[in-house]
Structure 1
């Protein structure tokens, strides 16, 4: 098994593995799967991801055939995020997911990530068990839109993390900065801010560049910090951010 950085020639195989994996692991209809593949893994989007210095796509190559891949990102702080790990259903049960996971972790560490978190759709039973079996804790949820429908995405983090810090908002109420849940910004990362300490209801974002709450939205629908101009860049590469 050869695990390596993806190349442009791998694009058709990456799309095929993603399609087969989504069909086997998720309760998504054919149209939703087609839409997801078109949004996340068409040739132009894969070119953008491969050229983006914060993103990493690794493939598991067996005898010249791509049988699995991972997509991850280091958004600018010291936490790496594993966005997807797909294994062709025909090659599951061979330890490929574990090997690819460890290689991805090592790669993110080399890029400066001191911590790792991962994301998986809530209805993927095997995917959620994959993280809990490795000692990860579910620290929150997010939402991802596929073909116009919103799906819940669970967020997992390694057990030793920083947790949530209370802070007073402008309206006087206490909200909570999640130091284990960040998204990249144009200048520095944004931490997700929740209304409650349990992390069930999202309040907005905290700009780590100037240490202020950031909830203003620009004309393109992106969160922008009023104090320093830091703009939140999405972890997901989908049509909502074009």
Structure 2
């Protein structure tokens, strides 16, 4: 088996692997799977992914056939997020996921990533167990929209948790900055801000560059800090999470 960076020629195989993997591992209807493939893995999106220096797309090839791939992103200067790890169901049970995971981690470490995070839909039992078996801890949840329906996505981290810090808004309200849940900004990370200490309700985001609160996000998941211009671009191609 060979694990290598994806090329434009791999795009049809990547879509096929993603489709079969989603069908086998997720309780998604045919329309939802088709919409997800079209939104995340069409020709233009994959071309953008391959051209984006912050993203890493690796494929596992066996006997000249792409049988698995991983998609990850440098979410912050020292944090990488594993967005997807798909293995063709016909090739599972061979240790391909383990090898691809380790190669992905190693390649991110070569880029200066100090710790790894992961995302997986809550209804993917095998995917959640995959992270838990490797010592990752669930640090939060978010919602992802697929074909007009909202699904819960679990967030995992292998780093030591830093907890939540209370801060006051301009109107005197206490909210809580989650230092374990953040998104990459153009200048510095945006940390998720919760209404309560338990993190059950989201307030917005905290710009770590100028240390101000922001609670506005557009339909594509873009956040822009009004104070310093720090911008968060979505790491997923679907409508985002606020």
| Aligned twin of 1:132 | 132
| Aligned twin of 1:201 | 201
Give the superposition deviation at 1:209: 1.5
C-alpha separation in 2, matches of 1:184 and 1:63: 37
| Aligned twin of 1:119 | 119
1:184 equivalenced with 2:184 (yes/no): yes
Q: Is the 8 A contact 2:220 2:237 kept in 1?
A: no
CA distance 1:219–1:82, shift in 2 (3 Å): closer
Aligned with 2:24: secondary structure? helix
Aligned with 1:196: secondary structure? coil
Q: 4+ residue stretches of structure 1 with deviation over 6 A?
A: 218-221
1:96 equivalenced with 2:93 (yes/no): no
**TM-score normalised by the chain length of structure 1:** 0.94
1:57 equivalenced with 2:57 (yes/no): yes
Q: Is the 8 A contact 2:194 2:201 kept in 1?
A: yes
Give the superposition deviation at 1:183: 1.3
| Aligned twin of 1:141 | 141
Q: Is the 8 A contact 2:138 2:157 kept in 1?
A: yes
| 1:60-71 to 2 correspondences below 5 Å | 60-71=60-71
C-alpha separation in 2, matches of 1:179 and 1:136: 16
C-alpha separation in 2, matches of 1:36 and 1:61: 23
Aligned with 1:13: secondary structure? helix
Q: CA RMSD in A?
A: 1.8
Give the superposition deviation at 1:216: 3.7
| Structure 2: unaligned runs, 5 residues or longer | none
The superposition leaves residues 41-63 of structure 1 with CA deviations (integer Å, 9 ceiling, x where unpaired) of 00110000111111111111112
Give the superposition deviation at 1:239: 6.5
Aligned length, in residue pairs: 241
C-alpha separation in 1, matches of 2:239 and 2:15: 17
CA distance 1:219–1:85, shift in 2 (3 Å): closer
The superposition leaves residues 142-179 of structure 1 with CA deviations (integer Å, 9 ceiling, x where unpaired) of 01100000000000111523222222222222222222
| Structure 1: unaligned runs, 5 residues or longer | none
The superposition leaves residues 95-125 of structure 1 with CA deviations (integer Å, 9 ceiling, x where unpaired) of 1111111111111111121111100000000
